[in-house]
């Protein structure tokens, strides 16, 4: 699933390409993807003619602010990624015009296409789990789901003391707490593993048992790894691609995630994988002692 760095990569890519563009058409072969309004015709009518005023991220949500006080919310979920370019439709399938990264087979699962007054914006999603919603801006800001979201880990205001306060009185394993969007927004499976490895903290360690220096190491690792992943365009070992269809480059920096059975890059011991709440956690039992 695209996490904070991947979503931020998409947002930054869109800002360079779609600001001040106007929606002129919308197509889908999977209307169930549209959650709000659930009627595709109403969604289409609410989009056409609207100009894109800004693009930002909140947690793993892409928020495209439109003229008329509307916000297009896109959550890419497990295998979704937004693409920008030009396509032609043949027998209800979309094919990119010209050669380039948009022709990567991972980008062929297009189930939503926005026609803009210049070029097109597509959503490729193999599993078709992505969520699309059209909101009134004030309604979204006051929605329960958004109010519950935790702080953004890369905001300047998210200082060490704030991180400590966020963890205060929290129960559960540190891996699960880092992945809870109502505690900290945007960190998922990949980066929680990478952060805890860099911090030398076992993923099963209970938050209330963390020592002060461990909390500081987790915080510093978070502030180091997430910006680096954004700079490298995210992780593309699976389905994620950037808006131009190309791969991100964080894979060369990935130290632990999905490396079960390989040697730890720090101490040489074998990397292990365990399940925590139905999710995988990768760690070095030597470097990250419980």
Alpha helices in the chain (DSSP H): 4-15, 40-47, 137-141, 144-148, 160-167, 174-179, 189-199, 212-231
pLDDT in tens, 26-75: 999 999 999 999 999 999 999 999 999 999 999 999 999 999 999 999 99
The DSSP 8-state label assigned to residue 22 in this structure reads B
pLDDT in tens, 105-164: 999 999 999 999 999 999 999 999 999 999 999 999 999 999 999 999 999 999 999 999
pLDDT in tens, 191-202: 999 999 999 999
pLDDT in tens, 156-182: 999 999 999 999 989 999 999 999 999
At 164, list the tokens: 């400590």
Of the candidates 222, 227, 283, 239, which has an alpha carbon nearest to the alpha carbon of residue 258? 283
Give the pLDDT confidence score for residue 258 in this predicted structure.
96
Q: How far apart are CA 135 and CA 70, in angstroms?
A: 6
Q: How many CA atoms lie within 13 A of 228 on its CB side?
A: 14
Give the pLDDT confidence score for residue 169 in this predicted structure.
87
Give the pLDDT confidence score for residue 253 in this predicted structure.
95
At 63, list the tokens: 């928020």
At 206, list the tokens: 């209970």
Q: What is the pTM of this model?
A: 0.96
Q: What is the architecture, at CATH level 2, of domain 4-138?
A: Alpha-Beta Barrel (3.20)
Sign of CA dihedral 24, 30, 31, 33: negative
Candidates 21, 50, 57, 60; catalytic one: 60
Q: How far apart are CA 240 and CA 260, in angstroms?
A: 21
Check whether 227 has a pLDDT greater than 90: yes
Phi, psi (5° rounding) for residue 174?
Answer: -60, -35
Q: How far apart are CA 263 and CA 286, in angstroms?
A: 11
Q: How far apart are CA 151 and CA 158, in angstroms?
A: 7
Cα Rg, the chain, nearest whole Å: 20
Taking residues 69-89, report their average pLDDT. 97
* Catalytic residue list contains 2: yes
N-to-C CA span, the chain = 27
The DSSP 8-state label assigned to residue 78 in this structure reads T
* Catalytic residue list contains 77: no
Q: How far apart are CA 134 and CA 175, in angstroms?
A: 32
At 276, list the tokens: 């925590």
Give the pLDDT confidence score for residue 152 in this predicted structure.
98
Angle at 280 between CA 266 and CA 171, to 5 degrees: 95
Please state, rounded to an integer, the average pLDDT across all residues of the chain.
97
* Catalytic residue list contains 217: no
Q: Which long-range contacts (CB under 8 A, 24 or more apart) does 106-111 make?
A: 106/239, 106/241, 107/81, 107/83, 107/241, 107/245, 109/79, 110/83, 111/28, 111/29, 111/30, 111/33
Domain map (residue ranges) of the chain: 4-138, 160-283
Q: How far apart are CA 16 and CA 38, in angstroms?
A: 30
Taking residues 207-226, report their average pLDDT. 98
Q: How far apart are CA 55 and CA 20, in angstroms?
A: 11
Check whether 1 has a pLDDT greater than 90: no
- Class assignment of domain 160-283? mainly alpha
* Catalytic residue list contains 279: yes
């Amino acid at each position: 699933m695209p996490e904070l760095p991947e979503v931020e990569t998409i947002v930054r890519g869109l800002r360079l390409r779609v600001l001040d563009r106007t929606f002129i058409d919308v197509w889908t072969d999977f209307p169930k993807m549209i959650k709000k309004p659930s009627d595709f015709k109403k969604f289409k009518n609410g989009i056409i003619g609207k100009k894109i005023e800004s693009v930002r991220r909140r947690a793993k949500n892409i928020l495209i602010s439109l003229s008329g006080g509307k916000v297009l919310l896109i959550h890419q979920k497990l295998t979704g990624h937004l693409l920008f370019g030009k396509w032609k439709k043949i027998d209800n399938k979309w094919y990119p015009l010209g050669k380039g990264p948009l022709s990567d087979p991972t980008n062929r699962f297009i189930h939503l296409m926005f026609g803009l007054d210049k070029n097109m914006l597509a959503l490729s999603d193999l599993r078709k789990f992505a969520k699309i919603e059209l909101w009134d801006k004030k309604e979204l800001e006051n929605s329960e789901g958004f109010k519950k979201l935790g702080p953004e880990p890369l905001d300047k205001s998210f200082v060490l003391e704030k991180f400590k306060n966020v963890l205060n009185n929290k129960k559960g394993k540190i891996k699960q707490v880092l992945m809870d969007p109502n505690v900290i927004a945007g960190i998922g499976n990949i980066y929680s593993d990478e952060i805890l490895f860099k911090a030398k903290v076992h993923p099963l360690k209970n938050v209330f048992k963390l020592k002060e220096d461990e909390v500081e190491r987790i915080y510093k690792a978070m502030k180091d790894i997430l910006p680096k992943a954004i700079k490298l365009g995210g992780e593309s070992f699976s389905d994620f691609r950037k808006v131009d269809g190309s791969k991100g480059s964080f894979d060369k920096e990935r130290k632990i995630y999905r490396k079960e059975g390989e040697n730890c890059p720090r101490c040489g011991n074998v990397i292990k994988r365990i399940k925590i709440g139905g999710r995988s956690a990768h760690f070095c039992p030597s470097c990250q002692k419980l």
